[in-house]
Chain A
Amino acid sequence: MKRIQTKIDPNEIRRRIRGMSVITKSFIVECTSLFEIGRATHFDSAASTGKAVKLVEKTESPPSSLWVEEFELIQRHKSVKAFGRLFTHFAPKIKAFLMKSGTDAAVAEECAQEVMATVWHKAHLFDPTRASAATWIFTIARNKRIDAIRKLKRPEPENLDWGPEHELDQEEAVGLQQETAKLGQALAKLPEKQRMLVERAYFKDMSHSEIAAATGLPLGTIKSRIRLALERLRHSMK
């Protein structure tokens, strides 16, 4: 069974994927305002006592490297050195992600190694014009969490025929990275407590009703605000 949408050119899909991270960024900004309300009514006693609320911004910025070179070296020359650089950067983050999802340290360590082994084996599938290295590795770590830790199956969509292998367009890869970085900055600017909510929605199973409990906002308001934000964003995309 094939895609039935009037077929969009694969390059157009790539372009739209890059554009969508802008959309998601606005979504996060909307979420921020959503959480701001929750904070004002629920968390924030500082405002009423006149104390300034310090927003701690993360100082570290995402690495400027796209990791493209490392992936090429791994794929073409089985470079252990290049893999080592990827490993040093990502393995501790994967372990952190798995532990935040409720996995104990020993299992998280073991699974982080398995995730990185998969990264090696699948290096040829990494396409920096569609996803950043972090995004791609996140999907592998997520799948590991589902199949190795939760013992569940993960149905994946059919692979798209991305057309004949094309020379890597550096500009496209950089463009994707820039959009991703902007989204990262928007997320990083969230006060810790609020960022945790977004994170928990991803790393743990946090439903809207749990977010409601945490922010003190009625569930209906949360749902309609998220929906409204996304509707507007989707509109602006077209």
Chain B
Amino acid sequence: MMTNTIKHHVNDDLMMAYSSGNLPEAFSVAVAAHISMCDECRISMESHNTVGGILLEMQTDIKVGPDALQKTLDKIATSCPVEKVEKPSKIDFPEPLSDYVGESLDTINWQPIGMGVKQSILSTSGEATARLLFIPPGAAMPDHSHSGIEMTLVLKGAFADETEYFAKGDVEIADGATNHTPVAADGSPCICLAVTEAPLKFRKMFHRIIQPLIRI
């Protein structure tokens, strides 16, 4: 059996922003999904949280009201802990992602965007957009250049750009300087979660015209 090891991880910029709670929701979904699959990045996250804990510990106290403890005890008495609903054990996505797209690949509401490529946009708030992409084997992602950071997490299958290969669990992080053409590997379709900081700019005229319509 082939052992699949994650080679491409969430970088420290993103991890620090995620740990400190300063990452737009769309990126946080992808980071949380990656951590769900990757022990290395879970360790990195806990370590970044430690810095936050120390900074909290270093705070100069700001007095709370004299009745604050009693009010808190009242809150405890009237509230009950929110128990997390157990997910069925067999789901197609990491849990944080299934909160947005459901549990099964079969029920995704895909929109075709040409050349067999399909997308489904997640409902997130903030400055960034997250979408599931379905790319048939051997098919290219639409040719684009980036503005802002783009993060792509492979959920199924694999893709490669000019220099590197990205398999299940791998994260590709590209910035404005990247101008590449990822192609899905042969075999099975590649399904990934792509997060963009700003709308992708397509270089081809056709895409430039329809870009506002399909929001890619």
Contacts and interface: CB of A to CB of B under 8 A. Distances in A.
A113 B75 CA distance: 8
Contact of B37 (A4, A112, A117, A188): A4
Interface residues of A, number: 82
Interface string A56-87: 00100010000000000000000010011001
B173 to A, nearest CB: 12
B35 interface: yes
Given A155-B29, A230-B12, A92 B37 contact: no
Contact of B53 (A136, A153, A230): A136
A3 B37 contact: yes
Interface string A79-106: 0100110011011111111011000010
Interface in A102-150: 105, 108-109, 112-114, 116-117, 120-122, 130-132, 134-139, 141-143, 145-146
A201 B5 CA distance: 31
B209 interface: no
Contacts, number: 217
B65 A109 contact: yes
Contacts of A167: none
Q: How large is the interface on B (under 10, 10 to 19, 20 to 34, 35 or more residues)?
A: 35 or more
Q: Majority SS of interface residues in chain B?
A: helix
B150 to A, nearest CB: 17
Q: Majority SS of interface residues in chain A?
A: helix
Given A121-B76, A152-B126, A226-B12, A92 B53 contact: no
Contacts of A193: none
B50 A155 contact: no
B71 A113 contact: yes
A100 B60 CA distance: 11
A91 B127 CA distance: 32
A122 B16 CA distance: 24
A58 B60 CA distance: 10
Interface stretch (B90-98, B113-121, B179-187): B90-98
Contacts of B63: 92, 95
Interface in B21-56: 21-22, 25, 28-29, 31-33, 35-40, 42-56
A6 interface: yes
